Amino acid sequence: MIKKFTRGVLAAAAMYGMLSGSAMAEDKVVIGYFGNPTPMQVAAAEGKFKTATGWNIEWRKFSSGTDVIAAMASGDVSVAELGSSPLAIAASQGVELQLFMIAQVIGEAESLIVRNGSGIEKVSQLKGKRIAVPIGSTAHFSLMGALNYAGIDEKDVTIMNMSPDQIAAAWQQKAIDAAFIWQPVQSQILKDGSLLVGADKTAEWGYPTFDGWVVNTKFAQKNPKSMVTFIREMDEANQAFLKNPSAWTATSAPVKTIAARTGAEAGQVPGILNGFTFLPISEQVKPNWLGGSIAKAIESTAKFLKSAGRIESVASDYGRFVNIDLAKAAAQ
């Protein structure tokens, strides 16, 4: 049985604050990220965000959304990458943060991988199997959606809460039958597994997922100009890829930089990049994204998580957790 998040995450936030010491110094801005092989890694490696914003940036890598929520709630992290499912959890708990940009829409970059020889050829055959996933992540939401779509009760499978590194180790030890996970671990376990269903398919089934950039609400209020500059740098990094994706080969400089920064194999990076959808900021301000639909998507995600027993309550208004003003200013 997996516990609900409401009390656990906020308690973790208090513990996180004690373990990490005092909140960030005034001259340092801590930015949390997952280490996905994405274009922003190139800009970060080249120091473009630091130069543009004037911030003394500490990039802090996280392995799960629940850890990001705890760090944001403790005040230790000002800006962070966060998946749509943990974002819904954080907003439902009243964590003071705002989504200000979509990092990437998730497709096959997060997928359900089944072990070769397991006899699993469709989702309905997962009954009785051991499935690993980072609990509270977008991958977890997609897994729950897949099970729900196939009519499988969660009690009919064994869901194991594991970090990406733990999944890789458990797979090697043959301790799990399947895993819903992202890159680069996805490519590692695909060497002895098969892709059953990706997040693009679960999105079609009514369970869309994305990674977003969130900011502490007070920090955004105090630093609007720097936040707009941060968005523009992020958009410029994505545009560099979108203008000529075919040029991002395993031997290209940007891909080599991404591989060095994330630990992914250079040969895997082009495929990983194509597994995401990167939206120009000019698209993100439209009604189907930050302009309206995103708040509804967060609410729908929260309602699903509550129905599945993952959170205790749904907030009355998710619009306050979306800051479109910063994106609009950056798009001008």
Q: What is the pLDDT of residues 103-140, one digit of tens each?
A: 999 988 899 999 999 999 999 999 999 999 998 889 99
Indicate the SS3 state at residue 181: strand
pLDDT tens for each residue of 241-291: 999 999 999 999 999 999 999 988 999 999 999 989 999 999 999 998 999
Residue 222 one-letter amino acid: K
Q: Do domains 6-106+209-331 and 110-204 have the same CATH topology?
A: yes
Is-contact 56 50, C-beta < 8 A?
yes
Residue 24 CA to residue 59 CA, distance in Å, equals: 12
Sheet arrangement for strand 178-182: 158-161, 130-133, 178-182, 110-115, 193-198
Q: pLDDT for 29-68, tens place per residue?
A: 999 999 899 999 999 999 999 999 999 999 999 988 999 9
**Tell me, which fold does domain 6-106+209-331 have in CATH?**
D-Maltodextrin-Binding Protein; domain 2 (3.40.190)
For every residue of 190-248, DSSP letters joined together read HTTEEEEEEHHHHHHTT---EEEEEEEHHHHHH-HHHHHHHHHHHHHHHHHHHT-GGG-
Mean pLDDT of the residues in the chain: 91
Beta strands in the chain (DSSP E): 28-33, 56-61, 79-83, 97-106, 110-115, 130-133, 158-161, 178-182, 193-198, 210-216, 276-277
Encoded tokens for 127? 């009954």
User: Strand 130-133 vs strand 158-161: parallel, antiparallel, or unpaired?
Assistant: parallel
Dihedral-angle region of residue 31 (phi above 0 means left; psi in -120 to 50 means alpha; beta otherwise): beta
Residue 210 has pLDDT above 90, yes or no: yes
β-sheet bridge partners, residue 194: 114
* Cβ contacts of 187 within 8 Å, gap of 6 or more: 264, 265, 268, 271, 272
Query: In this model, does residue 195 exceed pLDDT 90?
Result: yes
Domain ranges of the chain: 6-106+209-331, 110-204
pLDDT at 286: 94
Q: Which two tokens stand for residue 165?
A: 């590194």
Q: What is the mean pLDDT of residues 86-107?
A: 96
Cβ–Cβ < 8 Å for 73, 146: no
- If you average pLDDT over residues 178-196, what whole number do you get? 93
Give the position of tokens 């392995």: 63
- Running DSSP on this structure, what letter comes out for residue 124? G
Cis? peptide before 184, omega within 30° of 0: yes
Rounded to two decimals, the pTM is 0.83
| 3-state secondary structure at position 99 | strand
Contact, 60 vs 194, CB < 8 A?
A: no
Find, among 284, 304, 303, 286, the residue nearest to 211 by Cα: 284
Q: Give the closest residue to 38 by CA, choosing from 306, 328, 271.
A: 271
Q: Can you identify the CATH homologous superfamily of domain 110-204?
A: Periplasmic binding protein-like II (3.40.190.10)
Write a three-state SS string for 133-164.
ECCCCHHHHHHHHHHHHHCCCHHHCEEEECCH
**Number of Cβ atoms within 10 Å of the Cβ of 174:** 10
pLDDT in the model for residue 206: 85
pLDDT score, position 30: 98
